[in-house]
């Protein structure tokens, strides 16, 4: 457990002004900003046994960020000491822990406390919250910092329950399972799998990588940052600031590939195909790894070692669909049976089903899952009509495919802080989004999405709602445009 991650809020009944759910990048960011604004009455509840969110949970070998470290950190807490261009899990986790400590928010965090239910009490203007084991919290303001990538998704494959060997998901990696000399099957070739496959390949006796859809993979310009440069960043902060700005614009420019500017997409596709040609000489394997949809439709992946891992003599890419899983093997649709000792799921997360296992009841007893029956939506991804004083960080349609999501978190936190200020200024205790504001925003998002590669690129992805096929996860624009929209809350948008 993190040193000093104790809390002042040990009682089973707590009343606070602001309750934050989750102690990852989002939850910590708003906790820090509240602390800086002089708000003492806030509590962060975190289901895990330590802070860090996704960077605490995901500990698979090779786990790292695919956004450069100097951009994947808080703007108010730049870190001159990043060891690599793309930091690994341990370094990012340490960074988050040091931020929480430095800004004094650790005493406000209650670990191992899972949100179970939150109900809006109209008469009192508070959220009644049930959390952990018998904890009740009354909070005027409820902020979700739960993120989207934390409920593992498992494939539904015939016979899966019969598998007799050890099995685990990339997000719940089991380091006690020895892979040395074993026949290991990995299902999935997404962002997580392409990071751990090269790490485990040399250890396994035989490695089968089951691919359903090939990804677009571009080289990752990763290297260690020399002590000389780290000193420079430390001594001359403006150099670090300029480097971050450079990275920001370099990434921001890429949004064009996603928003329907095909020349940009084709340019990146050429880079990816050159990378594939250079690393995979076998034409059959190369064909199996060549995507047949537009770049950007699914998340673009960055790797320098995934392709070479597949060319190892003990590795095999299996692109035939899985027909059945047996006690000690996997059978593909062509009838081939491969012996398997250990099964690893690199099958991602349940992203488009938000607030799984959480009951959130707003005005008039309406449950959020009912409010979102047609489409998961929130104004600017943050506020939902009928759910007063409730704010979502990294909510619907605010994910990114081209830049650092920490930038979006900071923009949203700024927006939430401006909502709280607006309430204070007007002497109001409650603010509820006007339904027409939400509708106008959703209509705009849907219209803009229709021109993007996510809708027109010819693929299915976790960006899309599994039932409707609509993209409910990504922001259809630039980060700059989002920052502009979220600069401050307008009273006219709220009742
Ligand atoms: P993912 O990108 O959703 O990939 C899941 C993989 O599993 C895909 O290849 C998918 O194939 C496959 N799959 C899913 N269900 C399957 C089934 N029933 N049968 C066969 N294959 C199946 O998941 P992830 O790799 O865990 O990454 C999730 C997200 O986490 C990323 O997109 C990214 O946003 C984030 N992440 C970020 C980093 C980082 O460096 N910042 C690192 C890791 C993860 P299909 O493509 O056919 O669906």
User: Model confidence over 471-481: pLDDT tens digits?
Assistant: 999 999 999 99
pLDDT band at 461 (very low <50, low <70, confident <90, very high): confident
Q: Tell me which of 212, 215, 302 to substitute to probe ligand 1's pocket, judged by most ligand atoms within 8 Å of the beta carbon.
A: 212
Residue 375 pLDDT more than 70?
A: yes
Q: How far is CA 129 from CA 134, 143, 428, 478, in A?
A: 10, 12, 22, 36
Q: Establish whether residue 348 lines the binding site of ligand 1, counting it when its CB lies within 6 angstroms of any ligand atom.
A: yes
Q: Establish whether residue 386 lines the binding site of ligand 1, counting it when its CB lies within 6 angstroms of any ligand atom.
A: no
Q: Establish whether residue 68 lines the binding site of ligand 1, counting it when its CB lies within 6 angstroms of any ligand atom.
A: no
Are the beta carbons of 290 and 301 closer than 8 angstroms?
A: no
- 200 or 356, which is more confident: 200
Q: Tell me which of 58, 63, 192 to substitute to probe ligand 1's pocket, judged by most ligand atoms within 8 Å of the beta carbon.
A: 192
Q: At what angle do helices 25-36 and 89-102 cross, to 10 degrees?
A: 20
Q: Tell me which of 62, 347, 349, 408 to substitute to probe ligand 1's pocket, judged by most ligand atoms within 8 Å of the beta carbon.
A: 347
Q: Establish whether residue 349 lines the binding site of ligand 1, counting it when its CB lies within 6 angstroms of any ligand atom.
A: yes
CA of 297 to the centre of ligand 1 (A): 13
pLDDT band at 9 (very low <50, low <70, confident <90, very high): low
Query: Tens digit of pLDDT for each residue in 61-104?
Result: 999 999 999 999 999 999 999 999 999 999 999 999 999 999 99
Task: Tell me which CATH homologous superfamily contains domain 160-216+259-345.
Answer: FAD/NAD(P)-binding domain (3.50.50.60)
Query: Tens digit of pLDDT for each residue in 290-299?
Result: 999 999 999 9
Task: Tell me which CATH homologous superfamily contains domain 3-151+350-493.
Answer: FAD/NAD(P)-binding domain (3.50.50.60)
For residue 106, give every residue at least 6 positions away whose Cβ sits within 8 Å of its Cβ, in sequence order, or none: 2, 4, 5, 6, 51, 100
CA of 282 to the centre of ligand 1 (A): 25
* Atom 26 of ligand 1: nearest residue by CA position: 348
For the CA of 189, the closest atom of ligand 1 is 9
What is the three-class DSSP state of 415?
helix
Query: Tens digit of pLDDT for each residue in 98-115?
Result: 999 999 999 999 999 999
Mean pLDDT of 253-261: 89
CA of 215 to the centre of ligand 1 (A): 10
* Atom 2 of ligand 1: nearest residue by CA position: 190
CA of 361 to the centre of ligand 1 (A): 31
Mean pLDDT of 32-53: 96
Q: 341 — phi, psi (to 5°)?
A: -95, -40
Q: 335 — phi, psi (to 5°)?
A: 90, 0
CA of 137 to the centre of ligand 1 (A): 35
Are the beta carbons of 483 and 475 closer than 8 angstroms?
A: no
Q: Establish whether residue 400 lines the binding site of ligand 1, counting it when its CB lies within 6 angstroms of any ligand atom.
A: no
For the CA of 170, the closest atom of ligand 1 is 26
* Atom 33 of ligand 1: nearest residue by CA position: 191
Give dist(CA 332, CA 376) in Å, integer: 36
CA of 362 to the centre of ligand 1 (A): 32
C-alpha of 462 from chain center: 12
Q: Establish whether residue 217 lines the binding site of ligand 1, counting it when its CB lies within 6 angstroms of any ligand atom.
A: no
329-333 contact pairs (CB < 8 A, 24+):
330/185, 330/208, 330/210
Mean pLDDT of 197-219: 97
- Return the H-helix or E-strand segment holding 96: helix 89-102
Residue 8 pLDDT more than 60?
A: no
Closest C-alpha to 378, from 357, 401, 360, 403: 360
Residue 11: count of CB within 10 angstroms of its CB: 10
* Atom 5 of ligand 1: nearest residue by CA position: 347
DSSP per position, 248-291: HHHHHTTHHHHTT-HHHHHHHHHHHHHHHHHH---HHHHHHT--
Residue 244 pLDDT more than 60?
A: yes
Query: Tens digit of pLDDT for each residue in 299-328?
Result: 999 999 999 999 999 999 999 999 999 999
What DSSP character marks residue 226? P
Question: Per 3-state DSSP, what percentage of the chain is helix, strand, and coil (rounded to 5)?
Answer: 30, 20, 50
Q: Establish whether residue 346 lines the binding site of ligand 1, counting it when its CB lies within 6 angstroms of any ligand atom.
A: yes
Q: Establish whether residue 193 lines the binding site of ligand 1, counting it when its CB lies within 6 angstroms of any ligand atom.
A: yes
Are the beta carbons of 110 and 7 closer than 8 angstroms?
A: yes
Q: Give residue limits of the domains in the chain.
A: 3-151+350-493, 160-216+259-345
Give dist(CA 148, CA 140) in Å, integer: 24
* Atom 16 of ligand 1: nearest residue by CA position: 155
Q: Tell me which of 147, 154, 348 to substitute to probe ligand 1's pocket, judged by most ligand atoms within 8 Å of the beta carbon.
A: 348
Question: Of the ranges 81-85, 150-154, 250-254, 427-431, which one carries the lowest mean pLDDT score?
Answer: 150-154
Give dist(CA 171, CA 148) in Å, integer: 13
Are the beta carbons of 406 and 73 closer than 8 angstroms?
A: yes
* Atom 24 of ligand 1: nearest residue by CA position: 348
pLDDT band at 263 (very low <50, low <70, confident <90, very high): confident
Predicted pLDDT at 492: 96
* Atom 23 of ligand 1: nearest residue by CA position: 348
Q: Establish whether residue 352 lines the binding site of ligand 1, counting it when its CB lies within 6 angstroms of any ligand atom.
A: no
CA of 349 to the centre of ligand 1 (A): 7
């Amino acid at each position: 457990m993190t040193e000093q991650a104790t809390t002042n809020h040990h009682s089973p009944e707590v009343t606070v002004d602001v309750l934050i759910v989750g102690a990852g990048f989002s939850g910590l960011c708003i906790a820090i900003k509240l602390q800086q604004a002089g708000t003492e009455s806030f509590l962060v509840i975190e289901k895990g046994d330590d802070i860090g969110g996704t960077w605490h949970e995901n500990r698979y070998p090779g786990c790292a960020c695919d956004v450069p470290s100097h951009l994947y950190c808080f703007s108010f807490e730049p870190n001159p000491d990043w060891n690599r261009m793309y930091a690994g899990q341990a370094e990012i986790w340490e960074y988050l822990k040091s931020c929480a400590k430095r800004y004094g928010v650790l005493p406000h965090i209650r670990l191992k406390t899972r949100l179970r239910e939150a109900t809006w009490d109209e008469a009192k203007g508070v959220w009644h919250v049930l959390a952990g084991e018998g904890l009740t919290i009354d909070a005027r303001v409820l902020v979700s910092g739960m993120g989207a990538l934390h409920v593992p998704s498992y494939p539904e494959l015939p016979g899966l329950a019969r598998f007799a060997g050890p099995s685990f998901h990339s997000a719940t990696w089991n380091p006690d399972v020895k892979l040395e000399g074993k026949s290991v099957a990995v299902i999935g070739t997404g962002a997580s799998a392409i990071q751990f496959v090269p790490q485990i390949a040399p250890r396994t006796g035989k490695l089968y990588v089951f691919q359903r859809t090939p990804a677009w993979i571009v080289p990752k310009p990763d290297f260690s940052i020399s002590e000389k440069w780290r000193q420079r960043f430390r001594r001359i902060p403006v150099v670090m600031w300029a480097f971050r700005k450079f990275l920001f614009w370099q990434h921001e420019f890429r949004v064009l590939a996603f928003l329907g500017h095909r020349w940009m997409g084709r340019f990146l596709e050429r880079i990816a195909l050159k990378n594939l040609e250079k690393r995979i000489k076998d034409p059959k394997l190369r064909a199996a790894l060549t995507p047949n949809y537009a770049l950007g439709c699914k998340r673009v992946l960055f790797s320098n070692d995934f392709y070479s891992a597949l060319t190892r003599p003990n590795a095999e890419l299996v692109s035939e669909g899985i027909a059945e899983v047996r006690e000690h093997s996997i059978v593909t649709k062509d009838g081939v049976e491969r012996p398997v000792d250990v099964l690893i799921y690199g099958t991602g997360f349940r992203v488009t089903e938000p607030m799984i296992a959480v009951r959130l009841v707003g005005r008039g007893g309406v449950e959020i899952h009912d409010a979102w029956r047609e489409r998961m939506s929130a104004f600017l991804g943050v506020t939902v009509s009928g759910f007063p004083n409730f704010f979502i960080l990294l909510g619907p349609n605010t994910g990114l495919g081209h830049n650092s999501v920490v930038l979006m978190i900071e923009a949203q936190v700024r927006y939430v802080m401006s909502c709280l200020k607006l309430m204070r200024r007007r002497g109001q205790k409650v603010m509820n989004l006007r339904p027409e504001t939400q509708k106008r925003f959703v209509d705009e998002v849907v219209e803009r999405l229709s021109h993007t590669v996510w809708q027109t690129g010819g693929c299915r992805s976790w960006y899309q709602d599994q039932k409707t096929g609509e993209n409910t996860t990504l922001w259809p624009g630039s980060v700059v445009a989002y920052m502009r929209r979220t600069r401050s809350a307008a009273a006219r948008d709220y009742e």
